[in-house]
Structure 1
């Protein structure tokens, strides 16, 4: 094993940081891509969670601005080690040239963000800075990206409809008839998505006691979970007929309390495995719970039509990324893995979270390269697939990044 120099390491990092990216899940809105104020960046949900743990008031937006700035600075200092604080710091430093230290620097950041308001090229410039070429959204009205070179990729979100069908059937005097009506709607909707050029559909799933390897006859005694599982069979059958992929977001539960919480259900993916085995459509698994990361890799290892997606909600941490990347590198061809889910509501946070992902990826693959487990060609191929190419193929976009 040949020792590697610091110069070689920095050159490798630079190549990774310059690579192109496919963001497979965002909440971007096409006519409001850039942040409209500093506070839109500073109050991003994930950063705000960490800041509140550091003493930031839950309703800080109601404070007079001077008090809010002082509270923000105190919480910012208290959370300097957290991942979202690090991402926020990079956003301010790289995009706005401001280092947050005190109230004066926050005021400078407020003015710097304000100065970019109305700049039609800002969103594209920000995306270019981090190599972000394509973004996925789930609402048709958000997909037309203003002043960007490419529109968003629309992957319609069906969990709202899925939940409503489930409730309607469960409450019906004629569950079998209501189920057939829902099945017909599913068939119609998926045909319409295909006709409009959508590559796939997306849904979150709550906890479920039923399993896809059992088929349930829907009737008066059917449980809500049995209804859900039969609806999923209809969704997957429709996706197969129409050549759509199914993107499943798993691991967040909202029924235990007033907050969303992660749930490490050891049978979550196991109960879905009969769907992967039965239907020839492609599946992408996006996880929010750490202990399911290996389960997703095992599913992709067993079923060639399953891919592992990016890290979502409570899974977006450096430690979970590194563990999941190790699982993926050892078990899967790189073409079965995509790792970018920004979950961002403005382009600034797309930049910050993609910057984090790229840095973690560069560190992980350099360690494997320096230890002699892979060579540089393999490392670069892996990161290209993880960041861009695998998603581009799955989503029906360009297959090779531009030079």
Structure 2
């Protein structure tokens, strides 16, 4: 499997102003690792890792031993061993400075990004076009944060569609033309292949009367607070417009679900969550747009079986990897067993990193391959497939399916 090509269908490479880490604190400051360190007792936060790398490391070091069994720690240590020759079981006061020195040396290597991607076998990675493409090669595939079109119910969102300072639409028909124009521009000018869709997880696609949407749109753009039921209908309308426009241009919708912020603390409060109505409405949404490919990204284990059953029934639905709280060793194993046992081998992707740096993309691929290998080996041992079957399927799940789904 390590010799197979890979496509990473979702990254945030470059979002924070850098694509490869600059020091050990950039690695240890990954937000899920910080959350675990904080829960273990470390008085650290994600921003501190960039603001004061040395101070962050000194606070974090006593607590790495308490999280050395977690999936994120496994990813980190494996990546440190492969990329920097690290020999330790975890980061300690005795070894961190030598490791930090090696990382800082690699940070000066302008070919490091390409080197790590090549080591991982990553042939293509999606990158938000707004974060910039690392180079002009075909390795990097642009996507757009498309929430402002999918849920075009605020003045800020609509201004992003029509351009700040331009007249805002006063009817759904005018908004529809504006969204279509925006999607065409994203494809023709920026080469965008996918729209990232992550809106409030309490929303669900619902039927609506399009004739009544003009009034709701005008109210929303006037700054009035809509009833939740009305807001759901208006979002469903703009979601339909966006899905139809994307489908015409072979753009894939990436639908993220499975996380809820219980307080204002961004990552500390981001807990596993599942909205049954959201999942149950996807078939209705997908059926309405058979020409539009939709890829589901789950941040929680609970709806795995339901998502697989939906992808089993609709040709324009796929499921990919594991996101946020869904990215743990056992949860990935559950995802993969569900999908292997329920879906054609063309209906899902095993991997995406959600990584902010190339090093974390590499790290998450290690765990993905580990869990995929386990799931496939179990089916071989149970007599449900051959080794040849497993290897052929693995290539599809790591490369071939993503290439087809994202029209690469």
**RMSD between superposed Cα atoms in Å:** 2.6
Matches of residues 130-149 of structure 1 in structure 2 within 5 Å? Answer: 130-143=120-133, 145-146=134-135
* Aligned with 1:49 (options 19, 35, 47): 35
> SS of the residue aligned with 2:309?
helix
1:238 and 2:241 are equivalent in the alignment: no
Matches of residues 5-24 of structure 1 in structure 2 within 5 Å? Answer: 16-24=1-9
Aligned to 1:34: 20
How far has the Cα of 1:141 moved from its partner? 3.9
- Residue range with higher mean Cα deviation, 38-47 or 121-130: 121-130
Contact 1:17 1:359 (8 Å CA) reproduced: no
Contact 2:25 2:56 (8 Å CA) reproduced: no
Aligned to 2:80: 92
Aligned to 2:297: 286
Aligned to 1:154: 142
Aligned to 2:113: 123
How far has the Cα of 1:92 moved from its partner? 1.4
How far has the Cα of 1:139 moved from its partner? 2.8
Q: State the TM-score, normalizing by the size of structure 2.
A: 0.85
Q: State the TM-score, normalizing by the size of structure 1.
A: 0.86
Show structure 1 runs of 5+ residues with no match: 1-15, 398-403
Name the CA distance, whole Å, in 2 between partners of 1:45 and 1:342: 14
How far has the Cα of 1:170 moved from its partner? 12
Matches of residues 72-221 of structure 1 in structure 2 within 5 Å? Answer: 72-98=60-86, 99=88, 100-143=90-133, 145-146=134-135, 150-163=138-151, 165-168=152-155, 177-196=170-189, 197-208=191-202, 211-216=205-210, 217-220=212-215
Contact 1:264 1:289 (8 Å CA) reproduced: yes
1:247 and 2:235 are equivalent in the alignment: no
1:351-378 deviation per Cα after TM superposition (whole angstroms, max 9, x unaligned): 1111111111111111111221111121
Contact 2:208 2:237 (8 Å CA) reproduced: no
* Aligned with 1:361 (options 372, 380, 402): 372
Provide the aligned length of Structure 1 versus Structure 2. 376
Contact 1:342 1:354 (8 Å CA) reproduced: yes
Contact 2:317 2:347 (8 Å CA) reproduced: yes
Q: Residue 93 and residue 235 in structure 1: after superposition, are their counterparts in 2 closer, same or farther (change >3 A)?
A: same
How far has the Cα of 1:252 moved from its partner? 2.4
Contact 1:213 1:274 (8 Å CA) reproduced: no
Q: Residue 377 and residue 309 in structure 1: after superposition, are their counterparts in 2 closer, same or farther (change >3 A)?
A: same
1:263-296 deviation per Cα after TM superposition (whole angstroms, max 9, x unaligned): 1112212112212112121111111122122221
> SS of the residue aligned with 1:335?
coil
Show structure 2 runs of 5+ residues with no match: 159-167, 217-225
How far has the Cα of 1:319 moved from its partner? 1.5
- Residue range with higher mean Cα deviation, 105-114 or 222-231: 222-231
How far has the Cα of 1:215 moved from its partner? 4.3
Contact 1:136 1:153 (8 Å CA) reproduced: yes
Aligned to 1:58: 44
> SS of the residue aligned with 2:401?
helix
Name the CA distance, whole Å, in 2 between partners of 1:116 and 1:283: 38
How far has the Cα of 1:64 moved from its partner? 7.9
Contact 2:117 2:362 (8 Å CA) reproduced: yes
- Residue range with higher mean Cα deviation, 250-259 or 374-383: 250-259
Contact 1:212 1:273 (8 Å CA) reproduced: no
